[in-house]
Amino acid sequence: MVKTTVSVIKADVGSYPGHSRTHPKLLEVAARMLKEAEGSTIIDSYVTHCGDDLELIMTHTKGEDNEEIHELAWNIFMECANVAKEMKLYGAGQDLLADAFSGNVKGMGPGVAEMEFEERGSDPVLVFMADKTEPGAWNYYLYKMFADPFSTSGLVIDPSMHQGFVFEVHDVMEKRKILFNTPEESYSLLAYIGAPSRYVIKYVWKKDGTIAASTSTQRLNLMAGRYVGKDDPVMIVRAQGGLPAVGEVIDPFRTPILVAGWMRGSHHGPFMPVGVPDANCTQFDGPPRVICLGFQVSDRKLIGPVDMFDDPAFNRVRDRCCELADVLRAHGPFEPHRLSLEEMEYTTLPGVEKQFKDRWEDLPE
Ligand code: F6R
Ligand code: MG
Ligand code: MG
């Protein structure tokens, strides 16, 4: 049986005004280039943006980490960066850390989430895309979806989910990975993923090997070794039929949690679920936002999308996010609105510290 691959590859290649949103012209260019590739390199595609991030959603049969697919995405980002440069858009080409493509976009700036699977009789797939935050932002939600019986009722009342799930966690600082089985090792899993700047869930599987979720774990600043904005992650989640129901996948986003990112990639802020028309980062370059597009994947075609958070049921979490934003903004430059000093190492703050390093005097013993 031919397997289906869903690839979501994203980059910020320029936006307007400032870091608010991707220009429609870039969306047009990307959509045209993907359409031209349909029938040869890829089968189906959809283009959108979350804030200043251009998001390419593609289906094909070539598996994860395929050179042709990654090169197509890279060429689209390069072309869009050129258009952005012509318009003098802000940060034109900012996430493209290399001059030429070399086999795989991972490590070159763009974020990548991919999954390969045998299509079931019916296959609902949800694509989440965020702006002004980092890959670990998904940790909380993935735990709720796949391991919290107070959130996903199927973990309790669906016998096909009782066996639990396997989580692959990456340590993005030490570049190592580990597997945890839930429910048996839930507490151990939480011990790590509760520190989302370092430990990031990459995949979730059923214990029979069925792929359930895949995220982007690229951390731009760690790649570039300097401040280049946050990493604005993406995530693919499969639903139903022994996996969490669509509603169980999106319900955790009703809880407003605080994530790292926001202004200058240097602040904690509430993670606000919004419909695509509201996916523009405005207030204090934020607050951090997430959109979700729902598809049925049918013979590798994308049936959809449905704009999942464009729903009055999510109005209250948006209001609560605004309240949290007020509380945090009142802190001004103080922690915990501003990130911890350890995290600030990857921002522009070290530049300030450098200016004063010779003015510090030792205290007497
Ligand atoms: C956050 C982000 C923005 C910029 C801010 C300053 O990820 O991209 O908040 O950090 O607008 O941008 P510069 O330094 O380019 O003026
Ligand atoms: Mg930007
Ligand atoms: Mg962004």
CA nearest neighbour of 142 among 64, 230, 257:
257
Q: Is 21 in the pocket of ligand 1 (CB under 6 A)?
A: no
Residue 217 has pLDDT above 80, yes or no: yes
Point out which residues pair with 6 in neighbouring strands.
Answer: 59, 115
- Angle between the N-to-C axes of helices 67-86 and 24-37, in degrees from 0 to 180, rounded to the nearest 10: 150
- Tens of pLDDT, residue by residue over 263-315, are 999 999 999 999 999 999 999 999 999 999 999 999 999 999 999 999 999 99
**312 alpha-carbon distance from chain centroid:** 23
- Tens of pLDDT, residue by residue over 83-119, are 999 999 999 999 999 989 999 998 899 999 999 999 9
pLDDT classification of 222: cutoffs 50, 70, 90: confident
Please report where in the chains the tokens 């570039």 appear, as a residue: 224
- Is 254 within 8 Å of 271 (Cβ atoms)? no
Nearest CA to ligand 1 atom 4: 264
Q: Is 351 in the pocket of ligand 1 (CB under 6 A)?
A: no
Query: First CA to last CA across the chain, in angstroms?
Result: 73
Q: What is the DSSP letter of 340?
A: P
Nearest CA to ligand 1 atom 3: 264
Q: What is the DSSP letter of 290?
A: E
**For the stretch 294-327, what's the b/e string if a residue is b when 16 or more beta carbons lie within 10 angstroms of its beta carbon?**
bbebeebebbbbebbbeeeebeebbeebeebbee
Nearest CA to ligand 1 atom 1: 264
Rounded alpha-carbon distances, angstroms, from residue 147 to 168, 190, 236, 365: 13, 10, 17, 52
State the pLDDT at residue 137. 98
Per-residue three-class SS string for 37-83? HECCCECEEEEEEECCEEEEEEEECCCCCCHHHHHHHHHHHHHHHHH
Residue 109 region by backbone torsions, left for phi larger than 0, else alpha for psi between -120 and 50, else beta: left
Instruction: Quote the ligand 3 centre to 131 CA distance (angstroms).
Output: 5
What is the rounded distance in angstroms from the CA atom of residue 240 to the CA atom of residue 254? 20
Percent of the chain with pLDDT over 90: 93
Which of the residues 52, 230, 251, 307 is marked catalytic?
230
Which of the residues 46, 141, 227, 346 is marked catalytic?
227
What is the rounded distance in angstroms from the CA atom of residue 203 to the CA atom of residue 199? 12
